[in-house]
Chain A
């Protein structure tokens, strides 16, 4: 042992290295911010007593993805995979600059750095903690929550992008992934709809959006993509997924990333209503995750909070959206304490209530007031319950709407500007036809052999007289089983695509309590404005 003497001397010297870590290393610049005067605003939310220990854990707690033959199948749609890789870089760069005293350059240097990556997305998913090491060691539990839910994001997309699994297998695996996500760790996000208005009315709320609109626009652009990709992939053939991402990806890269004046983050069900209605718990968890991102952004951007207050508020924000905070509570239930208000929109259990809205009426910037359980083209009730999958959707100009029949989908897309994606279910739940509308309204599809029925009448019955089929035989069987449609003509896709229906006789424009529920909060300076980078395109 005496031979180790020299070694122990050297060891003692190097141990000073770790001790230096406790005293000599520079603190994150953000930690050096003085506690500035708190403006006269409402009081900060306070944490309940006895917060669970996991909120203060100092372990690494990395968990590997659930094994599956579908893992990384998102790379089948290579550009989508790369765009998602760039999203991780964008999140990490902004967070690192926020906590290292570089917030002043967020709208210039940081934005430019992120934008360069978004335009040249990396081939592989980067380790976010390596890009934002100071953020990761300052907010390690938050990083765990983000990472774990991002894994759910990534794996559900892998399942949907799989070319090997049937649609039934995909649905079963998505439920298994949810259980794996929910049961494995204590820091899962709640699957309940949350009152978004409540979560956006703290003293620090909107600070990031109002101070750093361009970088906030990027964040909300990422969240748009992370929502919109689901309906693009859900029940859509691998070939159509590729074609669809050409449209969705362009919308993301040219428009959605650079919008600087959204009133609120894109909600999952606003961009993927079909998936959200089938998996409302997952849609809610993703919205709640994205809301957590916004709350953290606002907290970190609030200069009158000191570092201790920021740490406390971040911890509290995690707690508010955690599954544990809402154990035993039910979707749809209203509570006097708004944190526990889990009402959702009628017909859309995958979306929590937002500012100035009620369960009956939802509002979207370019669409106005609407009822989420009715067709947005003819106002008749959408398919519901076990038949919910029969609702077509139309995606255009950044929004997606559920529609009652193929005619409504086609005609609604013709009324919108730019390209559109129409998801049209057939008689086979496993086959949704993806139809792409170009700038001029010309429709095309790569689904072969589609047959349509369109015996136009009052829209009270459009769910019967307007349908799509995978084959002539399926059409004939349907007509035979529906005597009132006897003699109806079978339309090829080409014949159907050039038709135009009458204005629906049943359409009623819902009227809300005010024109714009957000105008009193964020001012009237809204529209479809984009940052310079977006406008140049």
Chain B
């Protein structure tokens, strides 16, 4: 993708952000908006959403990295949605020294909610994503399976447990073909009982290293989602990798800003 095309994408994203506010509730959590966990809710049946994000990553001994994210979601049936996503990056990144523009993997995803939280049973969902090898050095179609559980935690808060299994069938020498992660998220509306438009988020994640011989990394994140229109939400987040065992690569800090709009 040329820099011109990139610029065009960015302008389009900004133009969409500038549309009259009309998306998506601040209390509904999707991965990367702004942290890495999902809640167990799908989009409403027949709802569509566009989600955009821009991330700045400071990586140890690397140049500044810029990551973008764009995702389209569609509630194609009750309690299920499909998604198509793109994660281009350029600049410094944690796992290699390459700073060229990388289109990243184009993903196609599916999320199925099995139940709402009822009584003492958490809400459960399964998310599956296929990742096309469209990025630099991409080989084979990768996948991610994510089990999601969400339950009330405290008076208004919700806790979210995400268990990931990532598959990389085209893994080269030195790379793991399967690696896992666990993310424990927490979200809570802020401002009750007088304000009803903001949700605070926090996460603690443990991820297995993608390269053989490396240990797991542990990260934390904090974020906010704020309703800015009837169906639109702006989010900001800050993530950092606290610890990386046995040479696990890590970002010093990532700052994420995003916008979601339902329609």
Contacts and interface: CB of A to CB of B under 8 A. Distances in A.
A60 B195 contact: no
A113 B192 CA distance: 10
A122 B156 contact: no
B208 A18 contact: no
B173 interface: no
B216 to A, nearest CB: 7
Interface of chain A, main secondary structure: helix
B208 A7 contact: yes
Interface string B74-86: 0100110000000
B151 A72 contact: no
Interface residues of A, number: 47
Interface string A49-72: 000000000111111100100011
Interface string B91-135: 000000000000000000000010111111111000000000000
Given A3-B179, A89-B196, A123-B197, A59 B78 contact: yes
Given A10-B206, A117-B194, A130 B27 contact: yes
Contacts of A168: none
Interface string B171-199: 00000101111101000010011111100
Q: Which of A7, A23, A127, A138 has the most CB of B within 10 A?
A: A7
Contacts of B227: 124
B22 interface: yes
B165 to A, nearest CB: 8
A4 interface: yes
A439 to B, nearest CB: 33
A134 B196 contact: no
B17 interface: no
Given A14-B182, A59-B79, A64-B43, 16 more contacts: A1-B178, A4-B208, A7-B206, A18-B122, A25-B151, A59-B78, A60-B115, A62-B45, A64-B44, A64-B45, A64-B47, A122-B197, A124-B227, A130-B156, A131-B196, A136-B117
Interface residues of B, number: 55
A133 to B, nearest CB: 5
A74 B123 CA distance: 33
A61 B46 CA distance: 11
3 shortest interchain CB distances as A-B pairs: A64-B47, A126-B196, A62-B44
A3 B208 contact: yes
A474 interface: no
A68 to B, nearest CB: 12
A54 to B, nearest CB: 12
A138 B119 contact: yes
Interface in A93-142: 93, 100, 113, 116-117, 120, 122-127, 130-131, 133-134, 136-138, 140
A134 B117 CA distance: 10
Contact of B216 (A6, A123, A130): A6
Nearest to A26: B120
A27 to B, nearest CB: 7
B141 interface: no
A25 B161 contact: no
Interface string B151-164: 11001101101010
Given A18-B149, A75-B230, A123-B197, A4 B178 contact: yes
A131 to B, nearest CB: 7
A135 to B, nearest CB: 11
Given A4-B208, A64-B44, A124 B230 contact: yes
Contacts of B42: 60, 62
B25 interface: yes
A64 B78 contact: no
